Structure 1
Amino acid sequence: MSVLDPAATAIRLFDAERNLHFFPIRHHSPACALHLREALRAIRPAAVLIEGPVDFEPLIGELLAPGVVPPVAMVALPDSEAREKGRGGTTYYPICRHSPEYVAIQQATELGATVRFIDLPSRHPSMLSDDRDRQDQPLLPMRETMFDRGAYVEAMCARAGFRDGLALWDGLFESRARNTDWRGFFASVGAYCSALRAASDENELQADGTLARETMMRACIDNAIAARSGPIAVVTGGFHTPALIDAKPETPPPAGAATRSNAWLIRYDFRALDRLNGYGAGLPLPGFYERVWERLTGTNDANSSLTEEILVGFRAHLIANEPALAFAFPTLRSMVEAARRLAELRGLSEPGRTELFDALRSSAIKEEIEVGAHPLLAAFTTYLQGDRLGDLPPGSRLPPLVERARGEAKSLGLSLEDAVPKTRELDIYRKPRHGQTSRFLHAMRLVAPPFAQRNKGPDRVHGFRADMLMETWTYAWSPAVEASLIERAADGETVRDAAATILIRRLADLEKEGQRNNAEAAFNLLSVAFDAGIGSAADTLVAAVGVAVDEDTNLARLTNALVIGQALNSRARMMQSDTSIRAFSSLLPPLLDRLARRIAELLYDLAAVNADNVGEAIGCLAALAEAMADPDPPFPTEPLRDALQHLMTVQLDPQLTGAVIALAALIGLIEEAEAGRRLSAALAGAFERPGDAVRTLSGVMALAPQLFVNESSVIAAIDGLFGAVDDQGFLALLPQLRMAFAELSPQETDRVAAAVAAAHGAGEDDIAILQQVPDARVLSEHLALGERLRSQWLQDGLAAWLEPSP
């Protein structure tokens, strides 16, 4: 008798002699859930054993508490040891209303049966086999990819005429949900799963933890048999059932199968539950199967057509939300009829998911369809996916941080009713409530990063769009948000308390990483605290920043820190009305005073900078120029001006000389005319070394190109330099010249060209011709060619040809 024969499988599944009943299921299958409910009512088991991590068993009572609205998930958070071993990530065991496991728990409780989970603990290494396509997908203790691929599935699809394994499952099993023969249904599922198991590679099952998990399940079944007081029902994924069904000698559970874990019940959503989003079990588009379940269990009008309900609802959704995609009523009628006829043709009692999509394609889309690309198909997919977010009743066993975060979000007008990402624009300076919302979202980025993402807004620290008054955020409550908050629960009971703890921990991490004296990194942490309105961390952070300022010897980090601190001080003055910001207001000026004086001390060391390090030094001067451009800077400028005055009297690298002159002019230490004279003198002094002259010019261009444009004496000096350089020398200087002149705008370039042309007696027509000159690369090639021709003519005794005509 073949185990692939449903009749033979039924004998093995329902063992009357041992009073042991196996129910092979597919996770989140409405058909399996409905038949399982009827089976449990019929056999009235004393114990129901379910494939679920044993450490989640204490959550069963919470799962059935009044007010719990699936989808929800049992989750286990990694401990510090797991993170250190690279086993981070939260493990999720999702439950929806049409999950067979949920129905089994409900029915067992109603019958007074004992409920046990029999799989390995959620954080056991064999449960953490990570076959995710993306790191943002959840870790799952249930994996069912074997249902949808492999040689057996492909052969069955070809034989039965289904396009893929998901459509095959629907056609073979979901279509039989209304059949009252639960024994026959599970016998067919068992035979199908036995074939899948027979086609599997044993080595792969060993590697992905399947065999270790089944060892644990057999041990739990043996224990239940030994303690039996009546029928036992075993509910597991169908792929495992063939390995569990035969009687085995007592099997000890695998080593490390302790049941302690950091487990919680959280809200979940249909988007996360969707196979099409990378979820590793169940069926795609859970919103569709939820509608099927409601129809099967009578919570919707059983006399109306589910096909009509879905397609009419989809059309209404499009009219309200995406009117450009909406279709006419005759098209709707055609879609309904097409779905029904396809179901009849395929031998189904009613249209399923595949028939609905095929009807949409054939009736509403006339043009050629690229795979997955048509917007109407995408909209239908999203509609059937559903956006339901589960809920937990007030007083659920959750850390205070979770509910306080939700409460604060709602009080600020953020919608948490579903899992659909939403956009919020905030006028952060002119509307106090918007400023509060911004600070909450910034704090949540620290505590629960999946919740919100800032898309646009001012960056007052690094100067990008610093004048913007608006921020734009995208946010959505999701299982990952709730899990992150649970993981951070020990850091504080409010979002800001937890954020403060995180920042202070990051400060400690700087010290561990040998970055205790990194003033820029410390100021960046201070900036994050400011954005999040974490005034409680201000004293600790400012004190640590002060230590970093005193000990940092890196001028680049210090000048960048000055720019950050100055921006923070400016923002603090603009937002004095907010109490969380006032904590920073009195602390920043003394800190910036220490920072400016520390920078002034180190500026004297620039005299020793050589060509290898001059780029970083010029970057420091550029940051200093940005900070000192403020007409009323919140730090003392006299020590900085004294240091720059000294640098103008000593011998510096040529490029640094140009940058120091430019900075002195920018901050008013010298007049522009004086800067022009100094620069002309520097260029003249480098007349014998054209490369040094160009490097001096490059230093000016890096900070203040207008000095070159506005001062005719500087232009004349450069022009004279070029006139004294032969073609070969000019070619050697060309790369440096290109870099230097790249700082000029097109208008500035035109002004310089006009000045040089006038000095050589050229007019506008001559300039127009010059504007058609090839680019620098072509020009360089032509000059090199001219030089080769000149050498050849000289060798051939044609020197007279090179003389200009009289």
Structure 2
Amino acid sequence: MTQGGISYFGIRHHGPGSAGSLVKALQELQPVAVLIEGPVDASPLLPLLASPDMKPPVALLCYPEDDPAATSFWPFAEFSPEYQAALWAVANKAALRFIDLPSAARLAEKAAEAAADTEAAEAEAKDEQGEEPTRVQDPIGTLARAAGYEDGESWWSDIIEQNPEPGPIFAAIADAMTTLRDGEGSIGRLEAMREAHMRLEIAAARKEFDGPMAVVCGAWHVPALQAGHTQKSDQALLKGIGRRKTTMTYAPWTGPRLALGYGYGAGVVAPGWCKHLWQTRGQDDASVLWLARIASVLRAKGHMISTASLIEAERLARALAAIRERPKPGFEELRDASVSALFNGEALLWKMVEAELLLGADVGEIPPDTPLAPLIDDLQRNQKAARLKPEALERELSVDLRSESGLFRSTLLHRLNVLGVDWGRLT
């Protein structure tokens, strides 16, 4: 949705369909500047996302120097719209910036709220991770549930991505968010400050750049960023904002920690499925490839899966999609078809492979020259020395304390437990 030479792209955080639509829109618009929702003081680190050695999932890490335990994270996956926007901007030599409140200001504001009202601070704690407001954590998910869908990505895929006549996608999303916000009433102080800061940054960029610009933000924020607020009122809202000295860097992340079920309010239901959608975008056999992956996991666990069963599962998934009036099978149809055709109706068997399939086991990597927090730097050196590669999912590890390597591994894991990092636990 364009306003005054600025196009606003309301996205769903970590939505592969949203990322695909955004890349197409940026390619058509060819903006001279890309402004992304995120801590403005981390803008110098944004181009690092395009480094060949940066392998998502990764997270932007911020911590106050006087309290390193109060760390905040902004995760990026391969299928995150913000990540793809950064890649596009670097590849096309467009200016690239974050426009949200500085991390230091957000940390200071959160600390002040905690001191004044503990309950209110807990209700807004998820905002520290760059998430949507606590009352409507997933606005696209809200629309999806209203339409009878289990998750927002399925709704987005059906109604927008796979709709033969989708029309102006981002304008439609902006209209939907406007309707949702009209029914929400007043917003919290921190959210109001964030949106005021983003409006001021957009206004400053409008004066600096000559040409089309793109603003990439959570769909929930689009109506507020387009609303008619004066710079004076926005500056007044930010007057006296707290400051804390912070340090920012990147850290490796894991696929499961992108999941909504892991306590990440801006997460997705199934990161593994989202990655699959992104990697198979534009292909007609995405559902077949997903079933093949299910079969591969089952066979690795010793189960006999015949080709005939896979063919039947694919037919059943398409039939379920037709009954449910969906253009293509989603992961719900493929799950139900698999339970019936591959698991002989035993839903318990699906639970055995669900985490590996839907959450994934990806572990990100960051460039060697990335500035690291001292503890992370020390941990990575010890992990290499112990030959313990970080993994996303749990596995059993036997340690022989009679050997030097086994004793070193045990010592490292016990040291982490003392620090409250449960990377390994005794069984």
Instruction: Tell me the TM-score range normalised by the shorter chain.
Output: 0.7 to 0.9
Alignment of 1:124-523 (within 5 A): 124=106, 125=108, 129-131=121-123, 139-143=128-132, 146=136, 148=138, 153=142, 157=145, 160=147, 162-164=148-150, 166=151, 169-173=153-157, 176-177=160-161, 184-202=168-186, 205-206=187-188, 209-250=190-231, 251-252=234-235, 254=238, 255-256=240-241, 261-296=246-281, 302=283, 305-321=285-301, 323=302, 327-364=305-342, 374-399=348-373, 402-416=376-390, 418-428=391-401, 430-447=402-419, 449-455=421-427
Give 1:107 deviation, angstroms: 1.4
Distance in 1 between residues matched to 2:274 and 2:351, nearest whole Å: 18
Q: Aligned to 2:8, what secondary structure does the other structure show?
A: strand
In the alignment, the residues of structure 1 paired with residue 352 and residue 181 of structure 2 have an alpha-carbon distance, to the nearest angstrom, of 34
Query: Partners in 1 of 2:138 and 2:373 — Cα distance?
Result: 39
Alignment check: 8 A CA contact 2:158 2:326 kept: no
SS at match of 1:239: helix
- Partners of 2:306 and 2:214 in 1: how far apart? 51
Secondary structure of the corresponding residue to residue 411 of structure 2: helix
Contact 1:72/1:265 (CA < 8 Å) preserved in 2? yes
Would you say 1:32 and 2:4 are equivalent positions?
Answer: no
Asked if 2 retains the 8 angstrom alpha-carbon contact of 1:175 and 1:352, the reply is no
Q: How far is the alpha carbon of 1:65 from its aligned partner?
A: 1.9
- Aligned residue in 1 for 2:114: none
The one-letter amino acid paired with 2:412 is F
Q: What amino acid is the match of 1:427?
A: D
Deviations 1:376-411 (A, max 9, x none): 135224312101001113232225653453243233
Q: Residue 132 of structure 1 contacts residue 278 of structure 1 at CA under 8 Å; is this kept in 2? A: no
In the alignment, is the contact (CA less than 8 A) between 2:261 and 2:269 conserved in 1?
yes
Paired residue type of 2:176:
Y
| Cα distance in 1 between the residues matched to 2:88 and 2:244 | 25
Which whole-Å CA distance do the structure 1 matches of 2:110 and 2:361 have between them? 28
CA gap of 1:211–1:180, structure 2 versus 1, over 3 A, is farther
1:41 aligns with 2:41: no
1:240 shift after superposition: 0.9
Counterpart CA distance in 1 for 2:217 and 2:306 is: 46
Matched, 1:67 2:30: no
The Cα offsets for residues 727-780 of structure 1, whole Å up to 9 and x where unpaired, read as xxxxxxxxxxxxxxxxxxxxxxxxxxxxxxxxxxxxxxxxxxxxxxxxxxxxxx
Separation of aligned partners in 2, 1:201 and 1:233: 28
Tell me the percent identity: 27
Q: Quote the offset at 1:50 in angstroms.
A: 1.0
Check 1:104–1:232 CA distance in 2 against 1; reply closer, same or farther (3 A cut).
Answer: same
When normalised by structure 2's length, the TM-score is 0.85
- Of the structure 1 ranges 271-280 and 405-414, higher mean CA displacement relative to structure 2 is found in 405-414
Report the alpha carbon displacement of residue 182 of structure 1 after superposing the two structures with TM. Answer: 8.1
Aligned to 1:53: 39
* The structure with more helix, counted as a fraction of residues: 1
Distance 1:405 1:143, change over 3 A: same
Q: Measure, in 1, the Cα distance between the counterparts of 2:124 and 2:308.
A: 43
The 1:342–1:191 alpha-carbon spacing in structure 2 relative to 1, beyond 3 Å, is farther
- Please report how far the alpha carbon of residue 192 of structure 1 lies from its aligned counterpart in structure 2 after TM superposition: 2.1
Matched residue SS, 1:272: helix
Deviation at 1:227, TM superposition (A): 2.4
* Residues 338-360 of structure 1: CA deviation (Å, up to 9, x unaligned): 21122233443321222222323
Which SS does the other structure have where 2:41 is aligned? helix
Distance change >3 Å, CA 149–CA 246, structure 1 → 2: closer
1:172 shift after superposition: 4.1
Matched to 1:421, the amino acid is: E
Q: What SS does the corresponding residue of 2:169 show, helix, strand or coil?
A: helix
1:393-792 alignment, distance < 5 Å:
393-399=367-373, 402-416=376-390, 418-428=391-401, 430-447=402-419, 449-455=421-427
Do the aligned residues in 2 keep the contact of 1:29 with 1:174 (CA within 8 Å)? no
1:91 aligns with 2:76: no
Query: Does the C-alpha gap of structure 1 residues 178 and 149 become closer, same or farther in structure 2, counting only changes over 3 Å?
Result: closer
- 1:102–1:367: structure 2 CA closer, same or farther, 3 Å change rule? closer
Q: CA deviation at 1:266?
A: 0.8
Once the two structures are superposed, what CA deviation does each residue of 1:443-468 show, in whole Å capped at 9, x if it has no partner?
A: 3334562333233xxxxxxxxxxxxx
**TM-aligned CA distance change 1:412 to 1:42, over 3 Å:** same
Letter in 2 for 1:56: A
Q: 1:245 to 1:89 in 2, by over 3 A?
A: same
Residue deviations 1:187-224 (CA, integer Å, cap 9, x gap): 2222222222122131xx225x2212111111112222
Amino acid at match of 1:94: P
User: Structure 1 unaligned runs (5+)?
Assistant: 1-12, 456-806
> Using the alignment, how far apart are the partners of 1:281 and 1:367 within structure 2?
33
Amino acid at match of 1:383: L
In 2, Cα distance between equivalents of 1:14 and 1:110: 23
> Equivalent residue of 1:427, what SS?
coil
Q: How far apart are 1:44 and its partner, in Å?
A: 1.6
Hey, what does 1:115 align to over in structure 2? 96
Q: Cα offset for 1:174?
A: 5.7
Distance in 2, Cα, partners of 1:329 & 1:131: 50
Residue 269 of structure 1, CA deviation: 0.8
Q: How many Å separate the matches in 2 of 1:149 and 1:227?
A: 32
Cα distance per residue 1:487-509 (max 9 Å; x no partner): xxxxxxxxxxxxxxxxxxxxxxx
Is the radius of gyration larger for structure 1 or structure 2?
1
Distance 1:282 1:442, change over 3 A: closer
Quote how far apart the aligned CAs of 1:95 are: 0.5
SS in 2 for 1:68: coil
Q: Residue by residue, what CA displacement relative to the aligned partner does 1:127-150 show, whole Å, maximum 9, x if unpaired? A: 6854489xxx99512226626589
In the superposition, relative to structure 1, how do residues 157 and 63 fare at CA in structure 2: closer, same or farther (>3 Å)? Answer: closer
Measured against aligned partners, the alpha-carbon deviations of 1:86-142 in whole angstroms (never above 9, x if no partner) come to: xx5310100011111111111122222211211112341556854489xxx995122
**Partner-residue secondary structure (3-state), 1:450:** coil
**RMSD over aligned Cα atoms:** 3.1
**Aligned residue identity for 2:425:** Q
Q: Does 1:101 align with 2:82?
A: yes
Provide the secondary structure at the position in 2 that maps to 1:234. strand
1:635 counterpart residue number? none
Alpha carbons 1:25, 1:235 under 8 Å: kept:
yes
Q: Distance in 2 between matches of 1:346 and 1:293?
A: 23
CA distance in 2, matches of 1:148, 1:391: 28
Counterpart secondary structure, 2:314: helix
Closer/same/farther in 2, CA of residues 340 and 453 from structure 1, 3 Å limit: same
Displacement of 1:79: 3.4
Deviations 1:685-721 (A, max 9, x none): xxxxxxxxxxxxxxxxxxxxxxxxxxxxxxxxxxxxx
Report the alpha carbon displacement of residue 33 of structure 1 after superposing the two structures with TM.
1.1
User: Partners of 1:121 and 1:445 in 2: how far apart?
Assistant: 32
Aligned letter for 2:154?
D
- Relative to the length of structure 1, the TM-score reads 0.47
Partner-residue secondary structure (3-state), 1:97: coil
Q: CA deviation at 1:368?
A: 8.3
- 1:228, distance to aligned residue in structure 2 (A): 3.2
Q: Deviations over 1:274-317 (max 9, x none)?
A: 11222111421111111111112x7xxx35x1111111211221
Structure 1 counterpart of 2:422, one-letter code: P
CA contact (8 A) 1:45 1:231 kept: yes
Question: Matched residue pairs, number?
Answer: 411
| 1:736 corresponding residue in structure 2 | none
* Residues in 2 aligned to 1:172 and 1:65: alpha-carbon distance in whole angstroms: 30
SS at match of 1:435: helix
**CA–CA separation in structure 1 for the residues paired with 2:404 and 2:38:** 48
Higher RCO, Cα 8 Å, sep 6+: 2
Structure 2: segments with no counterpart, 5+ residues: 112-120
Work out whether residues 138 and 279 of structure 1, in 8 Å CA contact, stay in contact via their aligned partners in 2. no
